[in-house]
Structure 1
């Protein structure tokens, strides 16, 4: 079986940008995800993956079953990816939602008949736009922060908090402004004044109530031989920090930015069920059974009734590099047609959401892809 793995940064997505101008931290993050994916798929398939030849990715360290194909400079990256993917049985694309990079690539592949491990089109469109996500969560009675966008009929002179949608955060003291198609913590700004956040909001941004609590996330996989199969991975903490705005605008002294620094997990057992509950609400409401990866970002409040879903990511997330170290199975084997049945002939797949064996080690990772495995606590084995 041949599997195409295309990661945006490593695979030439920045081909029009000089290599010296590519963020080294983003490249390390992309490199970590790319190596993790191709290594896991290579355990049971031949992996074919495009690479940017300018980046010196040390492909000599890859498993023998990984075929790296350098992209040709000056030619369309999407077309080159498609040509490579057509020779494979399934394809996985890791790209940002920004400027429809992810959606455009998946649509191109599917129109050409490539079997892509990705969500259905409706889910992809919903999750790629955070305003659409907020409205979708509201429509399905899934708790989410109060949210405003230009479509809320906001104006600088006539902004009303009653125009927002979402039941959580009505008494918020801070507000978050971010791009509707943003990826990670890119361009996220926190305001102490709601009117300032809304009145200066660009048309492609939205504002959400800041929810007090602990940010967490959960990665969900779906789409084996029976497309209703679902794997809910261990929930993990997201580590973020606030820093004062460095724009030099002396007027906005109440502004700071959010920086994602990494994550850790698995989270405490008693809190896992709260994250899983939110994840199950999301997956049950999807228009079609999940195929591929889905990342769900949440905030856990002091009380269960304060828990809410912040965002839905229709793709693999950075947490994969840590989650794969928390369990004893290869997560990608859910798509391995040669491992469909258990030896007990029960008809169940080798991996299901209820059968993941989670290790007792705490795993920590940075936003740049460095992973640290801590020893088990005393008494654990």
Structure 2
């Protein structure tokens, strides 16, 4: 059982106190998932992103449909098999789109017409930031039933997304705040990483998940590996890190509308470094982690401007220095671990920041451990 731990920043004004639930008033919430919702434009979609995107969208919609007076609208790409058929409900409106051009128009229209929007998208090509900016651009709306406007964007702020989604900028930020993290270098600054030992890790500066990540074991592999990154822009630029053996973990937090931080259990991350760091899922709560991640959370979260809702934090316990957790990434959005957390929690996690007028102050957890796959299956 996890209790309220702290507040992040000042209490929000009335725009964040309640989204629903005035008797007789229905909130129409637009939930957009970029990969499965029709936004993907550049060639073949990575199968891993399709699986994870669909899993998050299904899980979130199921939880939202449990909230009284909630109406949910989403888009779905006609080019994909129907992934939401079993979730059809009078409270769910699925808008099919033929591809990215139509999705672009529908996305703007639904952001404008819905009472509020929540965006699920990868950091690739700044998609999460750009789409959140669109959702936040529309004026706050008033209804005759309540005396204050609804917030239109239920994601983290664009500023938080830009900082956390850029691995180089985040490394510089963490270093300035003396937060332990993995040493990081820009690929084009060859002198900075020439002396790194092998193996090394190559990844996109604006990557999502394990996309384009490579474990490079020798100089012979290095020249071939770096050719896949042209470094002509931030979107194709690579960063270099030493490979640090250790145990990978993640922890979810939810910052609700009262600016209260809900700490979720630490989860094991199941990752295959020899297969492009493929993400296989996780187990929650971790049976391998016996320490406390609270000091790291308390130090880093107040430094991120506009952090809100569900945030996933990845960290590493190095084999050589197990007493010093290294912060790896901050995901300012829903992550696949949500599919496991929602099965373990007795409360509706989505209602904390997307629904109820009075978020619970204390979450209640089931006994046992949930193992979740990247595609969302739980056991």
Pairwise CA distance, 1:86: 1.9
Aligned mate of 2:94, from 68, 75, 79: 68
Task: Determine helix, strand or coil for the equivalent of 1:127.
Answer: helix
- Which residue number in structure 1 is paired with residue 248 of structure 2? 215
Establish whether residue 268 from structure 1 lines up as the match of residue 291 from structure 2: no
- Which residue number in structure 2 is paired with residue 329 of structure 1? 347
* 2-structure distance, mates of 1:73, 1:90: 23
- Which residue number in structure 2 is paired with residue 232 of structure 1? 263
Higher relative contact order (CA 8 A, sep 6+): 2
- Which residue number in structure 1 is paired with residue 209 of structure 2? 184
Aligned mate of 1:31, from 29, 54, 67: 54
Aligned mate of 1:92, from 118, 135, 147: 118
- Which residue number in structure 2 is paired with residue 362 of structure 1? 369
- Which residue number in structure 1 is paired with residue 296 of structure 2? 278
Check the 8 A contact 2:38/2:100 in 1, yes or no: no
Q: Call closer, same or farther: CA 1:61–1:280 in 2, change over 3 Å.
A: same
Pairwise CA distance, 1:287: 2.6
Establish whether residue 106 from structure 1 lines up as the match of residue 132 from structure 2: yes
- Which residue number in structure 1 is paired with residue 7 of structure 2? none
* 2-structure distance, mates of 1:126, 1:98: 14
Output aligned runs, 1:146-185, within 5 Å: 146-150=183-187, 153-155=189-191, 160-161=194-195, 174-185=199-210
* 2-structure distance, mates of 1:5, 1:31: 12
Establish whether residue 13 from structure 1 lines up as the match of residue 39 from structure 2: yes
Pairwise CA distance, 1:22: 4.1
- Which residue number in structure 2 is paired with residue 120 of structure 1? 157
Check the 8 A contact 2:79/2:99 in 1, yes or no: no
Check the 8 A contact 2:58/2:84 in 1, yes or no: no
Pairwise CA distance, 1:275: 2.7
Q: Call closer, same or farther: CA 1:198–1:35 in 2, change over 3 Å.
A: same
Give a deviation string over 1:194-219, Cα, whole Å, max 9, x none: 89759964430001122222101112
* 1-structure distance, mates of 2:185, 2:41: 35
Give a deviation string over 1:239-294, Cα, whole Å, max 9, x none: 111337xxxxxxxxxxxx322211111113863x5333322222122234x22222
Task: Determine helix, strand or coil for the equivalent of 1:5.
Answer: strand
Check the 8 A contact 1:197/1:207 in 2, yes or no: no
Give a deviation string over 1:300-338, Cα, whole Å, max 9, x none: 235553311011112111111111111111111113564
- Tell me whether 110-119 or 177-186 shows the greater mean CA deviation: 110-119
* 2-structure distance, mates of 1:74, 1:357: 41
Check the 8 A contact 1:234/1:358 in 2, yes or no: no
Question: What is the root-mean-square deviation in Å for CA atoms of aligned residues?
Answer: 2.7
Pairwise CA distance, 1:16: 7.0
TM-score scaled by structure 2? Answer: 0.79
* 2-structure distance, mates of 1:59, 1:258: 29
Task: Determine helix, strand or coil for the equivalent of 2:279.
Answer: strand
TM-score scaled by structure 1? Answer: 0.78
* 2-structure distance, mates of 1:200, 1:269: 33
* 1-structure distance, mates of 2:83, 2:156: 31
Give a deviation string over 1:44-67, Cα, whole Å, max 9, x none: 111111112332425442233111
Q: Call closer, same or farther: CA 1:305–1:50 in 2, change over 3 Å.
A: same
- Tell me whether 81-90 or 92-101 shows the greater mean CA deviation: 81-90
* 1-structure distance, mates of 2:100, 2:282: 37
Q: Call closer, same or farther: CA 1:180–1:89 in 2, change over 3 Å.
A: same
- Which residue number in structure 2 is paired with residue 297 of structure 1? 314
Pairwise CA distance, 1:37: 0.5
